[in-house]
Amino acid sequence: MVRRDKSNYIIQSVSHALDVLEEFQGDVDELGVTELSKKLKLHKNNVFRILATLQSRNYIEQNKANENYRLGLNCLHLGQTFIQQRGMLKQAKPILQELAEKTGETSYMSILRGSDVVYLDVVEPTTTVRVVSRLGLHIPAHASAAGKALIAFESEEDLRKRLGEDLKGYTKNTIRNIEELFRDLESVRSQGYATDLEELEEGLRCIASPIRDYTRKVIGALSVSGPANRLTDEKIQTTIGAEVAQLAKDLSTRLGFRE
C-alpha cells in the first residue's frame, strides 16, 4: 500500500485556527479582526468565526474595552502542561517550597510574555497574613521584581521595543521612565536579585532572581512576595535577597546551567 503524504490529511480550518493563535507571539498582546484578516490573507468573516470558536473554548478572550482579542487562559494551561512535561515546574516545586519555608512568605515561579510576567506556580507559607495568589495573572514587567529579573539581561534596544519609553504608573513608587529602569536593572545584575518596593501595589514588596537553563538563557524567575512591614529594607539586604538569589541559582543548576 502506498502511503499518502501527511499534507494530504491537513484540515484547512484547523490550520487557519493555529495560524490565528501563532500571530499572538513576541511583543504582540492584542489583535483585531481586520488586522488578523490582513496578516493571514483571510476573509474577515472567516477570522471572526475562528476567533469565536477559540473564544468558546477559552483559547482566545476579547478585551471588551477595545474589542480586540488576546490569548485566553487555556493557552496558559497548555503551556503549563508542556513545561511540566519538560520538567521545569517539577524541578522548581521543591525550590519554591524551600523558599516559602525559609522566608515565611509566598514564593512564585514565573515567565515573561511580551511586556508582562505570567505566574506559573506558587507555594504559600503557613503564616496567618499572606499575599493573595497571583497564579495565572499578567503583571507588568517594569513594576514587578520578577519582571525586572526576567528582563535584566536584555539589551537596551530590545527593552525599548518591548516596553516603550514611558512606563505606566501604579503607585507613587513605580518606575515611569525607561532610562530610570535601565539604572535599576544595573543593580539587579550586580546584586543578583531584583526588588519591587511597593511599585505595583502599596503595602506589597517582592524580591526575585532570574532562572537560567543549560543554554545560559534566562527562562524564568523565582520570587517571593510579602507585606512591606515584614519585607523591610534591612531584611531584604541581609537575608532574603541572598536566599532568593541562591535558590534561583540552585534551580538553574538543576536545569543544566553552568557558570
Reported as a single tens digit per residue, the pLDDT across 55-92 is: 999 999 998 889 999 999 888 888 777 766 567 788 89
Q: Pull the grid cell for residue 258.
A: 553552568
Relative orientation angle of helices 12-22 and 33-40, to the nearest 10 degrees: 110
Strand runs (DSSP E) across the chain, as ranges?
Answer: 60-62, 69-71, 106-113, 116-123, 138-140, 194-197, 204-212, 218-227
- Give the fold, CATH level 3, of 76-254: Beta-Lactamase (3.30.450)
Q: What is the pLDDT of residue 131?
A: 55
- What are the tens digits of pLDDT across the range 106-119? 999 999 988 899 88
Exposure b/e, 119-137, CB count within 10 A at least 16 = b: bbbbbebeeeebbeebeee
Q: What is the pLDDT of residue 137?
A: 74
What are the extents of the domains in the chain? 6-71, 76-254
* CATH of segment(s) 6-71: 1.10.10.10
Give the distance from CA 171 to its chain's centroid: 21
Q: What is the torsional sign of CA 125, 105, 193, 222?
A: positive
Choice among 77-86, 166-175, 219-228 with the minimum mean pLDDT: 77-86
Reported confidence tier of residue 4, pLDDT bands at 50, 70, 90:
low
Kindly give the pairing relationship between strand 138-140 and strand 194-197: unpaired
Q: What is the pLDDT of residue 234?
A: 95
Q: What is the pLDDT of residue 59?
A: 94
User: 3-state DSSP call for residue 139?
Assistant: strand
Q: What are phi and psi of 41, to 5 degrees?
A: 55, 45
Q: What percent of the chain has pLDDT over 90?
A: 66
